[in-house]
């Protein structure tokens, strides 16, 4: 059978129409199928139904570190010179003319090396009225702020002790000092205000007998929030 050019053209148009409808139908089926799967991180979802979230956490803890960075005061050995009634020597540089042989050490330096303020309690362990012997010997201490500001120690309880000598006539403990031996209610941790110097003084009477004496100082620190 002979097919005319017009008939061929009509068939071609019908074929294109059928092909277009087939493509649209396939696309619709694919869209419906894709809705069965969602992908984390898929971009451009208008309704936000496919959003995903993450979290970042960090906890900073306080660090309580209070140490004696100068933890000894060794006066060495010596004696009271003849013709003198006594020798007075101290970590603040005092060294009277009656002293012979003794060295002048630094005081006990307490430093807050942590990242929190601290409450400081202080105790010594080995004092008796006969520590040095003799009729007029003495043992004293004081504390001061070597950084010379008003922020290092706030609320100290040893009234009269800061930058002033106090005689030690008994072991420093709760029984002999008030307020649980509190040296400093708030010991600052910032670098500009974190040092306390404890000075020690001995007054050695000419009547003191030859001996070696020692005392131990203990500091307890509690975090102040």
17 in any annotated domain: no
61 in any annotated domain: no
> Between 26 and 86, whose confidence is greater?
86
Closest CA to 196 of 73, 110, 106: 110
6 in any annotated domain: no
81 pLDDT band (50/70/90 cuts)?
A: very high
Q: What is the mean pLDDT of the chain?
A: 82
Q: Is the pLDDT of residue 166 over 60?
A: yes
187 in any annotated domain: yes
CB-based contacts of 11, cutoff 8 Å, min separation 6: none
Beta bridge partner(s), residue 201: 90, 140
Domains: count for the chain = 1
> Is the pTM here over 0.85, yes or no?
no
> Between 22 and 164, whose confidence is greater?
164
Tell me the mean pLDDT in the region 37-44.
Answer: 54
Q: What is the pLDDT of residue 51?
A: 77
28 in any annotated domain: no
Contact by Cβ (8 Å): 75, 202? yes
* Owner of token pair 């974190």: 194
Tell me the mean pLDDT in the region 76-97.
Answer: 96
Beta bridge partner(s), residue 223: 118
SS3 68: strand
Structural domain that includes position 179: 66-224
20 in any annotated domain: no
Contacts 24+ apart (CB under 8 A), 13-19: none
Tell me the mean pLDDT in the region 92-116.
Answer: 96
Q: What is the pLDDT of residue 178?
A: 66
Contact by Cβ (8 Å): 66, 110? yes
DSSP 13-51: HHHHHHHHHHHHHHHHHHHHHHTT---TT-S--TT-TT-
210 in any annotated domain: yes
156 in any annotated domain: yes
Q: What are the tens digits of pLDDT across the range 114-162? A: 999 999 999 999 887 778 989 999 999 999 999 988 899 887 766 557 8
Q: What is the pLDDT of residue 43?
A: 55
């Amino acid at each position: 059978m002979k097919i005319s050019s017009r008939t061929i053209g009509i068939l071609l148009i019908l074929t294109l129409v059928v092909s277009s409808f087939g493509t649209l139908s396939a696309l619709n089926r694919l869209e419906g199928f894709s809705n069965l799967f969602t992908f984390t991180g898929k971009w451009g979802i208008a309704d936000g139904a496919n959003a995903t979230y993450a979290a970042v956490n960090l906890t900073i803890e306080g660090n309580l570190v209070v140490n004696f960075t100068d933890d000894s005061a060794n006066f060495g050995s010596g004696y009271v010179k003849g013709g003198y009634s006594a020798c007075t020597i101290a970590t603040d540089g005092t060294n009277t003319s009656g002293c012979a042989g003794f060295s002048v050490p630094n005081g006990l330096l307490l430093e807050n090396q942590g990242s929190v303020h601290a409450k400081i309690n202080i105790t010594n362990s080995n004092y008796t009225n006969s520590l040095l012997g003799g009729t007029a010997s003495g043992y004293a201490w004081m504390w001061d702020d070597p950084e010379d500001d008003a922020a290092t120690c706030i609320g100290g309880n040893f009234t009269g002790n800061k930058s002033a000598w106090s005689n030690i006539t008994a072991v420093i403990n709760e029984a002999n000092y008030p307020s649980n031996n509190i040296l400093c209610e708030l010991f600052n941790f910032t670098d500009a205000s974190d040092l306390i110097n404890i000075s020690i003084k001995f007054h050695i009477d000419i009547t003191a007998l030859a001996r070696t004496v020692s005392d131990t100082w203990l500091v307890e620190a509690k975090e102040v929030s």
